[in-house]
Amino acid sequence: MSDSKRQEGITYGNAWMHKTLISLLKVVDRRVFYVFMYVFVIPVTLVLSNGSRLTFRYFRRRRGYGMLKSLWSTYRNHCIFGETVIDKFAMYAGHRFKVIFDDEARYRAMTEGPDAFLQLSAHIGCSEILGYSYHVSKPCNVLVFGGEKQSLMGYRSSSFGEMNVNMIPVGVEATHSEEIVGAFDRGEIVIAFADRLMNPKKVITSRIHGYGVSLAKGPFSMAVTRGIDVVMVNAMKEKNGSYRAFFTPLTYDKQLPASQQRQQLADAYTAEIERLMEMYPLQWFNYFDLWTDSLQKS
């Protein structure tokens, strides 16, 4: 996958490849594909992808790992990321994963209440698994990159349709703003990622591991403009192949000026990323350069 495609969120492969993989996953254990990927795919990716160099620098410079540990962590990071991609296709093939839920009670209360809220995720773990595994009565509207391949959008739509989840394409058509407003007006959930930039001119900065990062300003502005609650939801892959979901409210003072409210939300968002990265250090799957400073640590 090229780095521009990673940044845009486009899944590698064509419709025939996706269909073939899904058909095979119906009869072949997904762990067979894991092993093939470990041996034949990841080594090539590490050599050709700029994302692997960014990941190595993340471990070496941001987390302070030694050279050998950084190299091994980069390899393992790509292996686990590949596993989550195969897991998603396994879901399209009908497989269901065990998901353990942490801190679920408050989130469940929010989904059963009348008010709209914003649900944020980050490119860590594999939150998409929850879309196929966790049913809530309140309609969910997921903001997805509109340039994704139609075959993948079709598989997602079919799977999400059973779970009361609607996709809103962004980054291609201008109509998504009306759909988002409509969802909030109806008291629904809007789900977005804030750690991928669709418009580099609309950013808000925060810090991860003490270093500056650029985040998408839009999701935080949506929450502040509407004065709605925000929760961060991520699903992290466990060593036994299951997933663990974390539901963390992101609190902010709604009486402060709007700019300060946005900053509070952004800082709470990055604090949760840091917390989960301490627990799952190999599951940072953000393969483009969001850092705003080289090595200037606060």
- What are the E-state strand segments in 210-250? 211-216, 229-237, 243-249
Classify burial at 14, counting beta carbons within 10 Å of its beta carbon; exposed 0-12, middle 13-18, buried 19 or more: exposed
Rounded Cα–Cα distance for residues 175 and 168 (Å): 9
Please give the pLDDT value at position 19: 87
- What would the pLDDT profile of 5-22 be if each residue is shown by its tens digit? 434 444 555 678 888 999
Residues in CB range of 185: below 8 A, 6 or more apart: 116
Rounded Cα–Cα distance for residues 279 and 265 (Å): 22
> What is the side-by-side order of every strand in the sheet holding 117-121?
99-102, 243-249, 229-237, 117-121, 189-193, 140-145, 165-170
- What would the pLDDT profile of 154-207 be if each residue is shown by its tens digit? 555 565 556 678 888 886 555 578 899 999 999 999 999 999 887 888 999 999
Rounded Cα–Cα distance for residues 113 and 117 (Å): 10
What is the 8-class DSSP label of residue 38? Answer: I
Global pTM reads 0.90
Ramachandran class of 125: left when φ > 0, alpha when ψ lies in -120 to 50, beta otherwise? left
Output the average pLDDT for the chain.
88
pLDDT higher than threshold 60 for residue 99: yes
Q: What percent of the chain has pLDDT over 90?
A: 68
pLDDT higher than threshold 90 for residue 294: no
User: Which pair of structure tokens corresponds to residue 204?
Assistant: 């808000």
